[in-house]
Amino acid sequence: MNDKNKLACNVNPKTTTLQRSFNEVREGRYIKFLLWFVGGMGGVEILCIFLLWFFFVRSKNNLDARVYNNISIIGFRKFSYSELKKATKNFNQEIGRGVGGVVYKGVLLDERVIAMKKLAEANQGEEQFLAEVSSIGSLNHMNLIELWGYCAEGKHRMLVYEFMENGSLAEHLRSNGLNWSKRFDIALGTAKAWRSSHNIFKAVHSLGGIGGTIITHEQVGKTFW
């Protein structure tokens, strides 16, 4: 009996149970730490992405606002594609053509006659297009035709000018309707208009380059882009 009691006293199952419990607690804390760490890093990444997106959108909106404000200050009107399509009778009356695009004659609802240049290529986005329109609109020269507005809708890019009734310089030169003195004055005025656009050459080039020179009733040459 004594031997059996001694054997019974030597058995201690609690020791094994305590050891397992201690290991489980350590593993549980480690897993919780990993989960907290991974979750924290994920939260930081999400916060960084949100901040980058926020500042990008805000800077883009500020840039768009500055461009639209410049357009508004200069006084340009934004025309819709359907409005210009109706004004030109579905782009029916072509009055000029060049590398940069085609020029059509049209009549607005307020009965103003326009010359509308439809750009051949519209690779630039609306933001870039508006910046270029703002650049050329900042020019003020007696030998430049007044720009009234623009259209930037989808892939369509158009410029709307005041229409000059007296025909192009090429037509007057072919008809010999200009004497040499007038020709010299027109050439000089055109050169001055080109010189005034030297600082915005990139914008002029993107909008199709120099469109041509029109002769007014006073036999003054006026250039449009």
User: Residues annotated in the binding site, as ranges?
Assistant: 117
Phi, then psi, of 222 in degrees rounded to 5 = -125, 135
Structure tokens of 153? 């809708």
Question: Which among 171, 208, 210 has a CA at the least distance from the CA of 193?
Answer: 210
Helix (H) or strand (E) holding 213: strand 212-215
Helices (H), the chain: 2-10, 13-74, 81-87, 126-137, 169-174, 180-196, 201-206
Query: Percent helix, strand and coil across the chain, each rounded to 5?
Result: 55, 20, 25
Helix (H) or strand (E) holding 38: helix 13-74
The vertex-123 CA angle with 206 and 164, nearest 5°, equals 45
User: What CA–CA distance (Å, rounded) separates 64 from 85?
Assistant: 26
112: which residues sit within 8 A by CB, 6+ positions away?
A: 148
Residues making up the binding site for ATP: 117
Phi, then psi, of 95 in degrees rounded to 5 = -120, 0
